[in-house]
Structures are given as structure tokens and as C-alpha cells.
Structure 1
Amino acid sequence: MQKIQKRKHHYVPRFYLNQFLDSRVQPPREPYLWVFDKQEEGDVFKRAPKNIGYETGFYDMKLIDGTTTTHVEDFFHKVIETPSSKILRKILDQQPITDEEKQKFAMFIFYSHARVPNYINFMNKFYEATKEGKSNEKQVIKDPEVEKMIKEAEIKDEVSTLEFMIELVKVFAPIIYNMNWQFLFAPNGYAFITSDNPVILNDPKQTTIYRPVVGWNNPNIQLTFPLSPSMCFLGTWTKKRNLYKVADIRFVRAVNFRTAFFATRYLFGSRPFYLKEEVLKLEALKSIK
């Protein structure tokens, strides 16, 4: 049987990366954004969105008959990315979205958190420990909140790690939907960056580093997701506030530092100096350690 041709599977969608293009680049030049590789620790460099934020065959699944399917990649493209790209455009243009669109965008936020290498690597350990009954192995799933959520999801034991991750949307998308949503603008002269792990859960009152599947019900939690250089999504459990608001400088700096700190490998930005500023902070943090 003929094998499928592996494709570039973008764990950070191209339409999302397109929001962080360097706006100074005009046709006929190919558009690009700026990138910093934490693994190589070199200088920032430019890349077209089609050439970054992907792994070949990242979502491929082997079937029982030995063939490979791209059903997961197809699911992300058709069911998640296609509608979400239109909803994101409405949000960036400050147009109201329907309740159905909010539900779909909550799914997009969850998958932007869950489809990336950081989450998949965690879920590999999580899932293997679950199958082997080692719930305390390296404290991977030793958490009552996590165990309760998994039971509520009613996920079958025989599913793969990727299927397991996809099924978790039944638990986490409703949580995101029920949070208080706010879209914050960066003030003039400032901009948000993003990364290969763009959705961050953080309690600004604690130093706890939350694992990918815990922390959601913490009353102080902040869920941040940069949507463009000029806008960041903020989900909280605090009282409702204005849907759109200009952020203060401290918020922009805090979000950018979190984004850089929790990036698995790549930072993305619309200008090189936005990335360099965060790289200097990371280097300073290393020197303290």
C-alpha cells in the first residue's frame, strides 16, 4: 500500500503566525516574522510563517494495518483553524462574536494550548503513566483536580496520546468559555510577542509553575494568549470588566516575560527588538541561578 506523503504539520497555525508579521515588509518581498531559538541561543532571525512552528508528520497516527493517517492534522485544519481564523479577524476588528463563535474560539484557545510540543510531551508521560496505573510516577497525574476532569471526560482507555489530547477539549473548552474574557491592547510603543507555547496559565500571586492540565480552577489564575502584537486575550475568574481595554505597560511586560519563559523553543515577534528585550531578561535570570 502506498504511504502518504508527510506534510509540514504546523503546531502553531500559519494564520495565527501571520498576525505577527513584520508590517514593514511590502510586496513583492515574502512576508516574515522574527524568531528567536532558545535552543540555539543565537541572534534573532526572520522566517516566513510557512517555514517555522511545524514538525514533519507531527500529528501522523499509525493504524493497525501499518498505514499512517493524517486525520488529526485534517481535523485541526478543517474543524478548528478554518472557523477560528474568521473569528480571530472579528475579534481583532472589535466586532461582536456570537455565542457559537465564542464556543468555537474557546476550543481554539484550548488546542493552541494543547497541540504544541510542550503539551504533547507532557501528555505522553501522563498517558503512559495512566495506562500503567502509575498515578504518582514523577507526580505526573498526582492531582485530584486532574483525576476528576479525566473521569468527567469519559475517555476510552484504548485511545492514543493524540486522541486523548483531542478528547480533553470536552473538559477544558467549557472552562475557557465560562471564564471572564477580556481583550487588552498594547499601549503605543509596546507590543506582545508569542511563542511555540502561546497559551499560558499563571497565578501572578504565586511562584507556582503549573503543569499543562492543572490550575484552571484557581480563582487567581490568568490565562493569557497573545493574538497579535497589539492585542492579548486574558481569561480570569475575577469580576467582569470591559471586553476591550488598553493594557498598562506592566501587563505587557509580564505577559511577554511569561511567553518567553514558557516557550519550548521558539519566540515569535513582529520586530527583532521586542524579542531581544525578552532574551536579555532570560539571560539575566540564568545568571542569577
Structure 2
Amino acid sequence: MFAVVESAAATILDKLTAGDFRLSSEECEIFCMFLSLGWSRVPRFRTDLEESATFLMNTYNEDLASDPDKFARTVAKFESESGTHLGDWEEMRRAILEKRVEVVASPEMSLKMMILSFEFLAQVIAAMKWSFRTTESISPFVTSDAPVVLNNPSMLDGESPPTPAALEVTFPITPELLFVATWDGHAGAGSMRPRLARQINKLIALSAHQYVYSSTEIPAITKYSSEPRKSLIDRTLLIRISKHSGDE
């Protein structure tokens, strides 16, 4: 299925590159699926998902193990429902707290999540307001091995939850053409100022898994590419999710 989507999208990309942004409903559907693949089918998505799931599971286990009575009740319930004997509960609890054992998310888990998120994200993009922005030759758009970027400026460290309405989806079609989807249409239209184009390039570079591609040499991209990558999934939110789950 993925190969079929990518093949069909090639014609649409040629059409957009030529400056024809009038897509039929079928072309829009294919383009949305293509963008969804561009986000979820790349190594960055699966790596971040596996690392975040591992972090969440171990954070939850450590929080649970810090309460001996609750840990014992949870293990007893699991053994009763599954018919599986886990051994010495107290030794297991100490091993978790001393970080002698760790739960690791499997590649199979991230593959399953990739498939599950594919259709959902395509539907989200289809419901958003689209814009195609151009840039001047002095500030061409870059691309990367994770070309579709989901950016939410409201996802900052802190207690405030992210604002779904702030979500932005960007995808550089060519060095001169950028696709942008927002909920409120704030992306605008027409030519993009060089300063904003540089900000978009920084976002793309910071979202890359390993490689950034540019039609011209841009010194700042080298700097951005060397900076630590921030996970696609905010871990402060995962900690709050873990604590909430532990209270149930």
C-alpha cells in the first residue's frame, strides 16, 4: 500500500512543483496519506517512539515500585489474571528501584504504532487549512530524512498542556516551495520573507534524524544539525501521564 501511495503522490508533487495547486478530492486524499507516511515511516519517528515508550514504562515502574504495598497488589493482580508467576516480588521491586532491570520497547511496537497513526494523521491533515509558500532564491528551503515536520509551538516544558490548535505541518516540496497546514490558516500565502524561511529551515534541521539536504551551502544548517535532538514526544507530558496512570 505504501508503495502505491508514493507512486501516486509523485504525479501530484510534479503538479504542485509546476505551480498548479488545484488538487482534486482524490489528489488531496493521496497527498494527505503521502504526508502522513513522510512523518511516520522515517527512522526518527520509530526511534523517538521506542525511546519515549521505554522512558514512560520505566518511569511508571519506578513510581509503582516506590510504594511497596501498591506494588505488591499490582503484581498479585497481574499474576491472578494472567496465570503467570513473577517470582520474588520484593526482589523485583528492589531491582527496579536500583535500575538493575529495564523495560525496553520493541521495534514491533513502533511498527504497529506507525501503521495505526498513518490513517489518523492523514485525516488530521485533510481537515486543516493548507497553504503553499514560495521563497526567494537567497533563502531556499532545505529538507531532511524526516521531511514532514509536525510542530506545536505550545509544547514547551512546564505544567501547561499543549494546545492542539497550534499544530503546524510543514513539508518542503522543492527548494522554492513549501507546504504548510494549520488549523486557523495563519501560514498565509505567497512569497515568504527570507527571515521566516530561515526559521523554517532551522525547524526542519532540528527535526531531522541524521541528514539535512540543501541545494546550496547554508552555514547555519551545520550548526543546527549538530545540536541535540529534542524528542518528537514531550517527556514532561509522559511523566504526567505516568503519574496519572499510577493514581488510577
Q: Are 2:148 and 1:199 aligned?
A: yes
Equivalences, count: 179
Where is the helix percentage greater, Structure 1 or Structure 2? 2
Q: Are 2:170 and 1:224 aligned?
A: yes
Partner secondary structure for residue 36 of structure 2: helix
Residue in structure 1 matching 2:193, options 239, 245, 248:
248
Q: Measured at CA, do residues 94 and 164 of structure 1 come closer, stay the same or move farther in structure 2, by a change above 3 Å? A: same
CA distance in 2, matches of 1:137, 1:175: 33
CA distance in 2, matches of 1:185, 1:163: 36
CA distance in 1, matches of 2:60, 2:148: 26
State the TM-score, normalized to the length of structure 1.
Answer: 0.54
CA distance in 2, matches of 1:281, 1:126: 23
Which residue pairs with 1:257 in the alignment?
202
Q: Measured at CA, do residues 173 and 188 of structure 1 come closer, stay the same or move farther in structure 2, by a change above 3 Å? A: same
User: Considering only aligned residues, what root-mean-square deviation do their CA atoms show, in Å?
Assistant: 3.1
Which residue pairs with 1:52 in the alignment?
none
Q: Deviations over 1:188-212 (max 9, x none)?
A: 32200011112222234x4638xxx
Q: Measured at CA, do residues 282 and 104 of structure 1 come closer, stay the same or move farther in structure 2, by a change above 3 Å? A: closer
Does the aligned pair in 2 maintain the 1:123–1:165 contact within 8 Å? Answer: no
Note the 1:1-289 alignment, pairs <5 A.
Answer: 75-77=1-3, 79-95=4-20, 96-125=22-51, 136=60, 161-204=110-153, 206=154, 208=156, 218-239=164-185, 244-271=189-216, 273-274=217-218, 276-281=219-224
CA distance in 2, matches of 1:265, 1:222: 22
CA distance in 2, matches of 1:121, 1:281: 20
State the TM-score, normalized to the length of structure 2.
Answer: 0.62
Does the aligned pair in 1 maintain the 2:180–2:187 contact within 8 Å? Answer: no
Does the aligned pair in 1 maintain the 2:40–2:118 contact within 8 Å? Answer: no
CA distance in 2, matches of 1:94, 1:207: 33
Q: Deviations over 1:200-248 (max 9, x none)?
A: 22234x4638xxxx96x62122211111100111110114776x51111
CA distance in 2, matches of 1:186, 1:115: 27
Does the aligned pair in 1 maintain the 2:131–2:185 contact within 8 Å? Answer: no
Q: Per-residue deviation at 1:277?
A: 2.7
Does the aligned pair in 2 maintain the 1:184–1:245 contact within 8 Å? Answer: yes
CA distance in 2, matches of 1:117, 1:171: 19
Q: Measured at CA, do residues 135 and 109 of structure 1 come closer, stay the same or move farther in structure 2, by a change above 3 Å? A: farther
Partner secondary structure for residue 184 of structure 1: strand
Q: Per-residue deviation at 1:163?
A: 3.9
Does the aligned pair in 1 maintain the 2:42–2:146 contact within 8 Å? Answer: yes
Runs of 4+ in 1 over 3 A off after TM superposition: 123-130, 134-138, 239-242, 280-283
Where is the strand percentage greater, Structure 1 or Structure 2? 1
Paired amino acid for 1:228:
T
Runs (5+) with no aligned partner, structure 2 = 63-107, 229-248
Task: Tell me which structure has the larger Cα radius of gyration.
Answer: 2
Paired amino acid for 1:208:
L
Does the aligned pair in 2 maintain the 1:226–1:232 contact within 8 Å? Answer: yes
